Amino acid sequence: MKKNLIVFGTRPEAIKMAPLVKEFEKHTASFETRVCITAQHREMLDQVLAFFEITPYYDLDLMRPNQNLYTLTATIIESLKPVLEDFQPDFVYVHGDTTTTMAASIAAFYSGAKICHVEAGLRTFNKRNPFPEELNRSIAGRIADYHFAPTETAKANLLKENISAKSIVVTGNTVIDALMFSVAKLHTQNYSDNEIDTLKNTIDFNKKIILVTGHRRENHGQGFIDICKALKQIAENHSEALIIYPVHLNPNVQKPVYKLLGEISNIKLISPLSYPAFVWLMEKSFLILTDSGGIQEEAPSLGKPVLVMRETTERPEAVEAGTVILVGTNTDKIIYETEKLLKDKEHYLQRTKLYNPYGDGKACARICGFIAQIY
């Protein structure tokens, strides 16, 4: 019996690790699997756990208001020590590029467990952008024993860093497993969801819905001010559009967004949505503006154009396909590209083709199958 410890801390890690937890739970004769959450996020993480019906075995409960990277990193490493000593896992799974990912990789290495990096090999090759994610994932990649790369591009990035080809498996991204599960659940006849009912009752879906999210640390400060200026201008110029913005709970995002966009009639600021409600709203949207990583992966599967409010992306596949356009945080550029999509039907339609570069929904089965054959 192999012992698996799956560690995650934030909303996107939870969404992308949930299907892996479910996959291992199908194979209880071969694996004993426990989930440990650092709870680097709290409410936003709990929303995901509730939807996927996952009860963590260990909850480190580490989130603090407006937390800093120094304390968070240190407390994650320290708090994982007793967990690793108690369970003594053979394999520790970390995901992506958060502080939880990086710190849990280090702690797992100290424990002697084998480290499995899910969503391995994404790179911008710019150490400070995205900050601190590019360094977090590079460190996890240096430490990991097994690398589950979502795409061939991600695998090539790892090979460039002299990672052994034998330790890399191209699996597709587990976010597509999560998305397919959620879309299927949403479309079952008896599915009911209070949050979706509220959206139905409070939003005028005759308008062109522009869905917005944002949280990146490198955009804090002037970046968010410039984004908000663009959103305000778009709202004023386009009464046919309705901007819906579920605002991330980070105070560095909440403060400027509510201050600058709080009083505009066709901008609706709301609390972060649970995953199914967010997927439902993505399906209903005309266009998505975001700096998120995960949304860049989900949107092509739903045929939604995305303007990415970042200078760089580690997800070049959808940019090459035309679904994703990088606009940075420049006010004029955001307005220009949004208006082009609102006004030019041909340009819009070219960006709505269903395209799935990030997976086929079987990534978790591949990861589980790979670990099962290791002696």
Q: Is 137 one of the binding residues for ligand UD1 (CB under 6 A)? A: no
**# residues near ligand UD1 by CB under 6 A:** 24
Token representation of residue 97: 């590029």
**Distant-in-sequence, close-in-space partners of 94: CB < 8 Å, separation ≥ 6:** 7, 8, 100, 101, 104, 105, 108, 115, 116, 117, 118, 140, 144
Query: Whole-number minimum distance, CB 303 to ligand UDP, in Å?
Result: 15
249 binds ligand UD1 (CB under 6 A): yes
Nearest-angstrom CA–CA distance, 233 and 275: 29
Footprint of ligand UDP (CB under 6 A): 11-12, 15, 213, 215, 246, 272-273, 275, 278, 292-295, 298
Rounded to whole angstroms, the maximal C-alpha distance in the chain is 62
Nearer to ligand UDP by Cβ, of 241 and 281: the residue is 281
* Cβ neighbourhood burial of 240 (10 Å; 0-12, 13-18, 19+): exposed
Site string for ligand UD1, 80-119 (x = CB under 6 A): -----------------xxx--------------------
Classify 268 as helix, strand or coil: strand
Residue 20 interacting entry, from ligand UD1, ligand UDP, none, C-beta within 5 to 8 Å by type: none
Q: Determine whether 133 is an active site residue.
A: yes
Q: Is 119 a catalytic residue?
A: yes
Only segment of 36-44, 182-190, 191-199, 239-247 that touches ligand UD1 (CB under 6 A): 36-44
Give the up-direction half-sphere exposure of residue 104: CA atoms within 13 A in the CB hemisphere.
34
Cis peptide before 65 (omega within 30 of 0): no
Residue 322 neighbours by CB under 8 Å, 6+ apart: 350, 351, 353
Residue 148 or 275: the one with the smaller Cβ distance to ligand UDP is: 275
Nearer to ligand UD1, 66 or 192 (CB): 66
64 is catalytic: no
The residue whose two tokens read 């410890």 is 5
143 secondary structure, DSSP code = H
Residue located via tokens 């052994």: 164
Catalytic residue among 13, 23, 119, 291: 119
133 scored as a contact of ligand UD1 (CB under 6 A):
yes
Owner of token pair 């819905």: 209
**Span of 86-94, 112-120, 190-198, 247-255 interacting with ligand UD1 by CB under 6 A:** 247-255
Q: Which residue has the tokens 């090539």?
A: 156
* Min separation Cβ 15 and ligand UDP, Å: 5
From the list 13, 23, 133, 298, the catalytic residue is 133
Considering the complex, what minimum distance in angstroms separates the CB of residue 350 from ligand UD1?
Answer: 29
* Residues annotated as part of the active site: 97, 119, 133, 215, 217, 248
Q: Which residues bind ligand UD1 (CB under 6 A)?
A: 10-12, 40-45, 63-67, 69, 97-99, 132-133, 215, 249-251
